[in-house]
Amino acid sequence: KGELLFIAGPCLIENRAMAVEIAGELRRISRQEGAKFIFKGSYRKANRSSGGSFTGIGDREALEILADIRESYGMPVLTDVHESAEVALAARYVDVLQIPAFLSRQTELLVAAGESGKAVNIKKGQFMAPEDMAFAAAKVAGTGNSRIMLTERGSSFGYHNLVVDFRAFPKMASTGYPVLYDATHSLQLPASGNGVSGGEREFMMPLARAAVAAGVDGLFFEVHPSPEHAHSDAATQVRLDQFASVVKELMQLCRCMQSIHSL
């Protein structure tokens, strides 16, 4: 096991200033803690619970902000794609294409992402058993692209609730691909009122620590300068000025785990 990878950034690229503010802080944390970072930002939200929600500032403008962050801050950037037709455009700007959990069975999207040659992060569907992620990964790998990551973000558990099954980490790791834990989306309470997803931020640290101890290769966090004003996922994004201490603690725990296992 090597180091922890962090995928972090805002749920949605709301504007250039906020994206740049976050990227600057992530680079600072990355250097201070010796952690690898990928900057994430959605350029469009395609699956909001409710049709009236904010969905973005425009695809090209958001993608150009991502490309600028990549160049200015020296961090790889990631965005998510929702239909195969989006892949070609997005792939021009980013290093990692992400397949949203609801879309983890869409063969054409997985194949298009694979064919782009970019790394592909597949989120496990809330309706999918962890071992079945091997089939999703195989659709990407079938294009000759083996730069694949698998991310757990919770499984359906009754209505309006998700549960993180920690057996999913070793099960998905048996594919041979890196396995990440999405520490913010997994705390969502889907569409729990008025079509807006709520969340339980208070469980973030216990579950993130547990995921590191269970052996994940990386973690995924949505961060925002002021989550209470975020256009989306306000209930679960981490406040940017608290994120350094989150990373610091998880890196310490990861080093502990390594020292225990190297004894």
Q: What does the angle CA 110 – CA 50 – CA 56 come to, to the nearest 5 degrees?
A: 65
| Cα dist from 182 to 6, 71, 121, 193, whole Å | 10, 25, 11, 22
Measured distance CA(258)–CA(254) in Å, rounded: 6
Chain residues 138-157 in contact with a second copy, contact rule CB under 8 A = 138-139, 142, 155-157
Question: Which segments of 141-187 are extended strands (E)?
Answer: 148-152, 155-156, 162-163, 179-182
Mask of contacts with a second copy, 5-44, x by CB under 8 A?
----------------------------------------
105 binds a second copy (CB under 8 A): yes
Stretch that binds a second copy, among 28-36, 90-98, 108-116, 144-152 (CB under 8 A): 108-116
Chain residues 171-210 in contact with a second copy, contact rule CB under 8 A = 190-191, 195, 200, 202-203, 206-207, 209-210
71 binds a second copy (CB under 8 A): no
Looking at beta carbons only, is 79 or 106 nearer to a second copy?
106
Looking at beta carbons only, is 76 or 125 nearer to a second copy?
125
Report, in Å, the least distance between residue 218 CB and a second copy: 16
Q: Which amino acid is at 119?
A: A
SS3 155: strand
Mask of contacts with a second copy, 238-257, x by CB under 8 A?
-----------x--xx--xx
Looking at beta carbons only, is 228 or 260 nearer to a second copy?
260
Report, in Å, the least distance between residue 223 CB and a second copy: 21
Q: Which is it for the CA torsion 182, 211, 224, 235, positive or negative?
A: positive
Burial code (b: 16+ CB inside 10 Å, e: under 16) for 24-49 equals: ebbbebbeebebebbbbbbbbbeebe
Task: Return the DSSP state at 130.
Answer: G
Q: Are 219 and 181 in contact (CB under 8 A)?
A: yes
Question: Which residues of this protein are in contact with a second copy, per CB under 8 A?
Answer: 45-51, 55, 82-85, 102-103, 105-111, 125-130, 132, 134-135, 138-139, 142, 155-161, 163-167, 169-170, 190-191, 195, 200, 202-203, 206-207, 209-215, 249, 252-253, 256-257, 260, 263
